[in-house]
Homo-oligomer: A and B are copies of this chain.
């Protein structure tokens, strides 16, 4: 599984998000690799007709007087299949993470919770999300991928999560730039990757996505 996070990048907003979605659809179908695009809430509507869409965040709220907070039901009805939460750029209170996971499940949103290290990965695994994305924040947006800089962290995160609940999937992220990073991630036990600038700011997005998809497709065949 490849999840592309557009953040608030110029290259990933509005029409640009739609363009990325189209490329992802094409590449994903070609290689039969699951791909999802995590966008700003205002872009869900346009993108979700093309590709599996995640919101970048939901708030731990239900229907009611919550002006300006992101309601899980609204995101779902706009077309999202899931959501990221607790990204290192949008950290949440532990009580809100627990509640947002519950709310996502009630509403039928797949929920990926980000974590920065192994202790926090274990803690979040106790809250039973669908998926955890481990991303050491010091590597996010950088040139060295987590799989190169901290391979043991990825491996250990996978092991620890599976020990607590082996139905929770594990993604890894931070600095992922090419097919080799993706191969390595899968080799270390990850179920996929979370990538942002590596795709969204790439000059040739299709090429990069091809590489990444092939890395995953190849691993799938070999198992």
Residues of A within 8 A of B (CB): 5, 7-10, 13-15, 38, 40-46, 55-57, 61-71, 73-75, 77-78, 80, 84-98, 116-117, 119-120, 122-128, 140-141, 196
Contacts and interface: CB of A to CB of B under 8 A. Distances in A.
A195 to B, nearest CB: 12
A157 to B, nearest CB: 12
* A-B residue pairs, 10 tightest by C-beta: A57-B68, A14-B77, A45-B45, A68-B90, A42-B78, A123-B123, A41-B41, A56-B68, A8-B66, A67-B87
Given A78-B42, A122-B126, A8 B61 contact: yes
A153 B12 CA distance: 38
A127 B71 CA distance: 29
A5 B67 contact: yes
A71 B8 contact: yes
Determine which residue in A80, A86, A89, A95 has the highest number of CB atoms from chain B within 10 A of its CB, and name it.
Answer: A95
A119 B182 CA distance: 32
* Copies of this protein in the complex: 4
A56 B5 CA distance: 23
Contact of A86 (B38, B57, B94, B97): B94
Contacts of A91: 93-96
Contacts of A75: 42
Determine which residue in A38, A66, A71, A73 has the highest number of CB atoms from chain B within 10 A of its CB, and name it.
Answer: A71
22 contacts: A7-B67, A8-B61, A8-B65, A13-B63, A13-B74, A14-B73, A38-B67, A41-B41, A42-B44, A42-B45, A42-B55, A43-B78, A55-B68, A57-B68, A65-B89, A65-B140, A67-B87, A67-B90, A91-B95, A92-B94, A98-B117, A126-B126
A4 to B, nearest CB: 12
Contacts of A80: 42
Contacts of A117: 98
A87 B74 contact: no
Contact of A63 (B10, B41, B65, B94): B10
Nearest to A140: B65
Given A68-B87, A91-B95, A119-B126, A78 B45 contact: yes
